[in-house]
Structure 1
């Protein structure tokens, strides 16, 4: 007897699909029939392996035309798009990222309404992307992994290195970066897990200065005096890579529900010009036994 693929149990088919890449699943099994469509949606809605699940976009997998074709098939089908819970984008090729981000992110439009986890690495944070991230962390995402590294810095330089309005554009984007970082630790954020790498921050971004009085935005302005309003009450896990230790001191007071904190600091905390360590002398709890019974 000849067995066809459709004769296999759903558990076996799900195991087969889980070993394929996201675009192989869509190209090979989407639109075969309702059963396979349901299985494909199940694969994208279940985080069976957090390193492989969801949509993963990088420079080595597909051509730009192939990316756009597959993403269009996802976006055009509501059942498939609503099943997407995780997206990972590696922005090593700025041309790819700029074009793909227009398909995934449009101003004030979230295409994937059930997206819960978003990973952005080496991605240039444009105005549209920052606006969408602001909406996502406020209303939708549970997890955000964001790395602002040297590649994204170079994109920043290349985009605004000339032109009469370049300085104004740089200043505007710098303010948006700082406001977004502040939002991550405010009541306008519902994340439960955040991995933030700003260890390549420099004088142009000035992210580490975003909590200073000169950089304060509306989130931390005088019109908001209630501490509970300005804190992020949902954040449980924070993994952060920074340059200066004083940045941790600024943010820690705004995450009162934190359960896990992992910190990597590039510069020594002992550098007096960057960070002043405040110490408090505690009284000794070791006393003589004679004094206790006396």
Structure 2
């Protein structure tokens, strides 16, 4: 009743969190209810699914199967999915095929997941992050999220998606050159696909002027220095502005002070 009331009050999507229900049967029923309400009101579904270290928590397959049966392709997002970190590879192979067919988006939350997961482990401790690289290589859409802004679950949260990506590429071991360049898709185009706005998303004439301008020459520099936004633009209007950072160091050859950015990352010709 409360879920339906939330939709009537204007909620964008229908939520669910099946792994915290009393029993597996209750969890499965909660998924069914989410789909019933979503179809009734024409909403997408966005839920926390299998956010646990318990390798027996397998509601993601139920969500995927339900998505396929209901023809809700591309309209379901599963957040966290940290139990995936503990699944055996044979099961993961089956799960990835289901996720790909259902066109489900997986949204890991690296800052929060690496903080909360593995709490029951002594040593070694699990990283507790969804398998980002493997999901991508198996054709599953992955977009990064930022759960928790300065709250008890993550008091350091500040909504900085570059910081989220910084953590993700470390924990997911994605520090190769191509991985780093392509990783920005996790907080841009893949996210737009999850929201089903990919056709109107991007820096092109005629598209909505919603963008963040970073203080960096390229993707790797943005991650290296955790570049903060110079401008945040919403509907063509600057809503936030910041002066560029400038750090000067002494050149050992000329003994002159030069800017750090010019030293480590010269502008492209």
Q: TM class by shorter-chain length?
A: 0.3 to 0.5
- Flag the structure with larger Rg: 1
TM-score w.r.t. the length of structure 1 is 0.38
Structure-2-length-normalised TM-score: 0.40
